[in-house]
Structure 1
Amino acid sequence: MHTVSPLALAAPAAVTGGERGKEREQERGERWLATGNQLAGLGALEAGIRFVAAYPITPASDALEWMAGRIEQQGGHLVQAEDELAAINMAIGAGFGGVPAMTATSGPGLALMAEAMGLAVASETPLVILNVMRGGPSTGIPTKSEQSDFNLAVYGLHGDAPHVVMAALTIADCHHTLGWAVAVASERQTLSIVLSDQFLGQSMQILPPLAEGAFKAEPVSASLPPAEGGDYFRYLNTDNGVSPVALPGQAGGMYTADGLEHSEQALPSAKAQDHQTQLDKRQRKLESLVDSPHWGECCRQQGAELLILCFGSLYPIALEAQQILLGESLPVNVVGIRLLSPPPLAQIRQCMDEVKQVVVIEQNHQGQFARYLRSFGLSFCSYHRPGPRLFTPGELVRQVKEMRHAESQAI
């Protein structure tokens, strides 16, 4: 079993000067200098990704360039495809063959992948997509950050196509979230989309060495040939929705994986009962994911009466604003949502019930995340604006003060 060496990421964080400088470096210990894209690639490789197919696109190309020099050492391969359609279908093919696979792109590329994403959902083939968001629509602002691919990631597949959407919260969290996404895609035989953005992906940070990720791709393998000489039911309607999967070439495990609706035996079917059964099954296998302890991060302060709710790169900015407000005797809570779909509603409601006011912040023009949460009956204030200008802690501090002032005037 090969493990990814972290030495390729380790780099001096500062230039030492004389003996005194060397002593300081020894006191600090080893540190890494890394970007979110690099750490995303590291998390994916540690979790077992052994095939990557992608087409270059800003700001996701950095992750692919980093993985290209390392995946071969782990017995895997990275292919530069002729376009995004070819890339995602290559990755799906690898997943069908039992090889944990992924692709990486940004908004325009994710839009092109929409039909094939539906194929991964319908055929229940594990697939991971890293989407490093940038300003849109169309070509937009390729080199600047924005969170405007939220709707595309959550709703962008045609038909009822339940899948997983996650968001990395910090540069270091790109490592954790990609590993989790790989494990979830493998275990639940589904599509996992991870949202990062230009700010997280291309910003470089000095940080302590990260422990090797605990997540591993572990598919639910079929026991073949089937017991008592029966047929192999690839899409068996199990209690948890996950069916044992056979690899190509396994005796007694032949089946067809395609985009047509099918019976439990993987035979194309237009029967209403088969359609209902498979829709329910694909939905059911994701429902328990909301109980995962990895759903998000919550930073509470004693006496807080306001909650800042966010996802992605706004989480560390909100934490910095939290510290500024604490210094001004205005404690607030901050929650960063890592699991966007299916949404961890019980945990979100619990955090909201602890305070008097809630503000959802995001960096896009339409308030996509806020509209999504409101569709589940949640009530809160929304603060959103597009890029390319980054959110700042001072901006959030002013917004919180305005809300608290308005609350005091209403009493």
Structure 2
Amino acid sequence: MAIDLTITIAGEGGEGVISSGDFLMQAATRAGMEVVTFKSFPSEIKGGYALSQLRISDEKILSQGDGFNILVAFNGEAYSINKPLLTPGTVLVWDGPHGDFEPEPIPGVTMYNVPMTHISKQELKNPIAKNMVAMGSVAGLFGVPMESLKASVAAKFKRKGQDVIDFNYAALQAGYDYVKQNHKKTDPFMFPPARPAKDVITLEGNQAIALGAVVAGCRFYPVYPITPATSVGNYLSELILKVNGFVYQTEDEIAAIAAAIGASYVGIKSFTATSGPGVSLMTELLGLAAMAEIPLVIVDVQRGGPSTGMPTKHEQSDLFITAHGGHGDVPKIVLAAADVEECFYLTIEAFNLAEKYQTPVFLLSDASLSLRVEAIKRPDLKSIRIVDRDAARSAVDPKEFMRYKNTPSGISTMGVPGVPGAAYAATGLEHAENSGPRTSVETKTSMTEKRWRKIERIEEETAPIEREGDADADVGIISWGLTQTMVREAVTRLRKKGHRVAALYPKILWPVPAKQIEAFAGGVKTVLVPEANVQGQFAELIRSKTSVVPVKQTLYRGEPFLPKEIEAKVEELINANAAVPA
């Protein structure tokens, strides 16, 4: 990358750390740059360690990266946590004097002190201005356009009036003036100059899900709020009204999924979004949707578990429950998005699959991806394929209409309430083709096989899995979700070093795409599956459905992999293979 700049802002929750990162992100997108953000904060309303990181480039960014070029530390905790990453060539902007710490000199690290707390409290008489003082100093040191920052401030505070906007302008200027008057720049980093605007839209992961749902035709969103999925509804509440749909907040997660099933039964595309604890509560009704063969989409924005766990932290630990959750044999489809663009397109795909196969479909995201911001190419809505269910929409002969007709594909025509002759019973009871309750051996066997037959050819009926890298690789990596972005960067680095490496990037995780995984594994010496859970859940699913025995690389610290961690593991495996006699 000709331009590759990463800025990390860290401090205490409630100090404006996250909004500061957003302001810098907006400045970068206005300058025509590619951006990727990473945010981490505690579940408490105020207090605890918070971080906002922005990576900027003039080329496509594969991941959030391994570290930072510039650290803006609001307090001593932020400094202590990030001190190991302050390596030669990096820059520290810190709150001092009159802050709560003073860093010791670190060889090769450029340090600029800015009395953020002192200026905000003593000069501006308002401690909440600390982050604006910090942003002004960043603008002065690294050339972030002040007009761009002011535009973001004006947009954020316009409802609070011009006096609030002007106060924040003054705080920005105070930080800018301080560094211009007290520091001589000695580091090489500068914010990139503006480039021609690109035809892109800037979205968060959850925002992209909301937009994808509306494009897919969703008109009803029942939901019970839960971190980190709540903002899907916040964004959707504005969008869905424009297409005559609506958001309905239910009393709990059970009611949310029940309402989604009911709306889908009457022919309205609907979905709900939740996180791990909500999936646990929804499990029984998943069985109803599967038994009644009603299209259903559930977005699971995963978080650290089990139980309440870490509501705002990253984890990929809900694969087992989404694939296997439910009593009895419950056919489901599970997809996972890797980046913001996929949050948009895979939401549409989730609806398409649910409509086609008349079964529950999960889309997995996670806490980090929910907040991740990217500038993505503006979608061409006319080129997007939308699938609608096979349904009787005009009068039919009630004697001939068989809602659960046992077809060769397993897919049968749905009825729509109000259509003459198309009435049927949609219950959780086992049923005959005409929907009447039946408990015979023959019915149970044939209907179970029908429900599962619908999805048995999904691997052949969906797009081939993306593969990159060498045809005869020493190590082949299979990854899913957000981890794929780190794998892409790791593979790029490894191949530049001359290593023979390949990667497979499945989007449908369940049913396991066994044939393509077997083919991929046949062309590599070792298969590695990195994922952010302790059990190696996708690796276990692969083992259960294929002859492949992958090496697990698991991580469960509440934060995503770094590309260098995957890079190091691959090199370890390559060296181990080389040490084994031929």
- TM-score band w.r.t. shorter chain: over 0.9
Q: Does 1:137 align with 2:306?
A: yes
The code of the aligned residue for 2:287 comes to G
Structure 2: runs of 5 or more not aligned? 1-25, 32-144, 148-190
| Cα distance, 1:85–1:325 mapped onto 2, change above 3 Å | same
2:512 alignment counterpart: 343
Q: Which moved more, 1:298-307 or 1:159-168?
A: 298-307
1:220 alignment counterpart: 390
Helix, strand or coil for the counterpart of 1:172?
Answer: helix
The code of the aligned residue for 1:318 comes to V
- Tell me how far apart the structure 1 counterparts of residues 203 and 276 of structure 2 sit (CA, whole Å): 23
After superposition, give the CA deviation of every residue in 1:222-268 in whole Å (9 maximum; x if it has no partner).
275445x7342110001111111110011111111010110111011
The code of the aligned residue for 2:575 comes to H
1:312 alignment counterpart: 481
- 8 Å contact from structure 2 (residues 403, 415) kept in 1: yes
Superposed counterparts of 1:312-391, under 5 Å: 312-376=481-545, 377-391=547-561
The code of the aligned residue for 1:269 comes to R
Superposed counterparts of 1:233-312, under 5 Å: 233-294=402-463, 296-301=465-470, 304-312=473-481
| Cα distance, 1:13–1:67 mapped onto 2, change above 3 Å | farther
- 8 Å contact from structure 2 (residues 521, 548) kept in 1: no
Structure 1: runs of 5 or more not aligned? 1-10
| Cα distance, 1:302–1:367 mapped onto 2, change above 3 Å | closer
Per-residue deviation at 1:169? 2.0
- Tell me how far apart the structure 2 counterparts of residues 128 and 232 of structure 1 sit (CA, whole Å): 26
Per-residue deviation at 1:144? 0.5
Per-residue deviation at 1:139? 0.3
- Tell me how far apart the structure 1 counterparts of residues 418 and 429 of structure 2 sit (CA, whole Å): 22
The code of the aligned residue for 2:503 comes to V
- 8 Å contact from structure 1 (residues 294, 338) kept in 2: no
- 8 Å contact from structure 1 (residues 13, 33) kept in 2: no
| Cα distance, 1:40–1:223 mapped onto 2, change above 3 Å | closer
Helix, strand or coil for the counterpart of 1:130?
Answer: strand
Q: Does 1:200 align with 2:380?
A: no
Helix, strand or coil for the counterpart of 2:239?
Answer: coil
The code of the aligned residue for 2:268 comes to V
- 8 Å contact from structure 1 (residues 189, 242) kept in 2: yes
| Cα distance, 1:253–1:15 mapped onto 2, change above 3 Å | closer
Q: Does 1:116 align with 2:276?
A: no
- 8 Å contact from structure 2 (residues 512, 541) kept in 1: no
- Tell me how far apart the structure 2 counterparts of residues 169 and 245 of structure 1 sit (CA, whole Å): 33
- Tell me how far apart the structure 2 counterparts of residues 226 and 209 of structure 1 sit (CA, whole Å): 42
- Tell me how far apart the structure 1 counterparts of residues 494 and 258 of structure 2 sit (CA, whole Å): 48
After superposition, give the CA deviation of every residue in 1:29-80 in whole Å (9 maximum; x if it has no partner).
2332211111111111111111110111111111111011110111111101
| Cα distance, 1:354–1:303 mapped onto 2, change above 3 Å | closer
Helix, strand or coil for the counterpart of 2:454?
Answer: helix
- Tell me how far apart the structure 2 counterparts of residues 142 and 320 of structure 1 sit (CA, whole Å): 27
Identity in percent = 34
- Tell me how far apart the structure 2 counterparts of residues 226 and 206 of structure 1 sit (CA, whole Å): 48
| Root mean square deviation, CA, Å | 2.1
Q: Does 1:65 align with 2:234?
A: yes
- Tell me how far apart the structure 2 counterparts of residues 210 and 12 of structure 1 sit (CA, whole Å): 22
Q: Which moved more, 1:365-374 or 1:137-146?
A: 365-374
- Tell me how far apart the structure 2 counterparts of residues 198 and 211 of structure 1 sit (CA, whole Å): 28
- Tell me how far apart the structure 1 counterparts of residues 471 and 289 of structure 2 sit (CA, whole Å): 45
- 8 Å contact from structure 1 (residues 297, 337) kept in 2: yes
1:407 alignment counterpart: 577
After superposition, give the CA deviation of every residue in 1:304-334 in whole Å (9 maximum; x if it has no partner).
3211101100001000001111221113111
Q: Which moved more, 1:206-215 or 1:190-199?
A: 206-215
How many residue pairs get matched?
398
- 8 Å contact from structure 2 (residues 471, 523) kept in 1: no
The code of the aligned residue for 2:502 comes to N
Per-residue deviation at 1:391? 0.6
1:90 alignment counterpart: 259
Per-residue deviation at 1:215? 3.2
Helix, strand or coil for the counterpart of 1:383?
Answer: strand
TM-score, with structure 2 as normaliser = 0.66
Helix, strand or coil for the counterpart of 1:305?
Answer: strand
Q: 1:45 aligns with which of 188, 203, 214?
A: 214
| Cα distance, 1:49–1:394 mapped onto 2, change above 3 Å | same
- Tell me how far apart the structure 1 counterparts of residues 308 and 463 of structure 2 sit (CA, whole Å): 33
Helix, strand or coil for the counterpart of 2:553?
Answer: strand
2:567 alignment counterpart: 397
- Tell me how far apart the structure 1 counterparts of residues 387 and 230 of structure 2 sit (CA, whole Å): 24
Ranked by relative contact order (alpha carbons within 8 Å, sequence separation 6 or more), the top structure is 1
- Tell me how far apart the structure 2 counterparts of residues 340 and 320 of structure 1 sit (CA, whole Å): 22
Helix, strand or coil for the counterpart of 1:113?
Answer: helix
Helix, strand or coil for the counterpart of 1:44?
Answer: helix
- Tell me how far apart the structure 1 counterparts of residues 414 and 30 of structure 2 sit (CA, whole Å): 52
The code of the aligned residue for 1:89 comes to A
1:4 alignment counterpart: none
- Tell me how far apart the structure 2 counterparts of residues 316 and 210 of structure 1 sit (CA, whole Å): 21
- Tell me how far apart the structure 1 counterparts of residues 232 and 557 of structure 2 sit (CA, whole Å): 22
2:342 alignment counterpart: 173
TM-score, with structure 1 as normaliser = 0.92
After superposition, give the CA deviation of every residue in 1:2-55 in whole Å (9 maximum; x if it has no partner).
xxxxxxxxx77445569xx9x944x24233221111111111111111111011
- 8 Å contact from structure 1 (residues 100, 217) kept in 2: no
2:379 alignment counterpart: 210
- 8 Å contact from structure 1 (residues 48, 217) kept in 2: no
- Tell me how far apart the structure 1 counterparts of residues 350 and 374 of structure 2 sit (CA, whole Å): 23
- Tell me how far apart the structure 2 counterparts of residues 341 and 179 of structure 1 sit (CA, whole Å): 17
The code of the aligned residue for 2:532 comes to Q
- 8 Å contact from structure 1 (residues 39, 175) kept in 2: yes
- 8 Å contact from structure 1 (residues 306, 356) kept in 2: yes
Q: Which moved more, 1:202-211 or 1:69-78?
A: 202-211
2:324 alignment counterpart: 155
- 8 Å contact from structure 2 (residues 480, 507) kept in 1: yes
- Tell me how far apart the structure 2 counterparts of residues 224 and 31 of structure 1 sit (CA, whole Å): 42
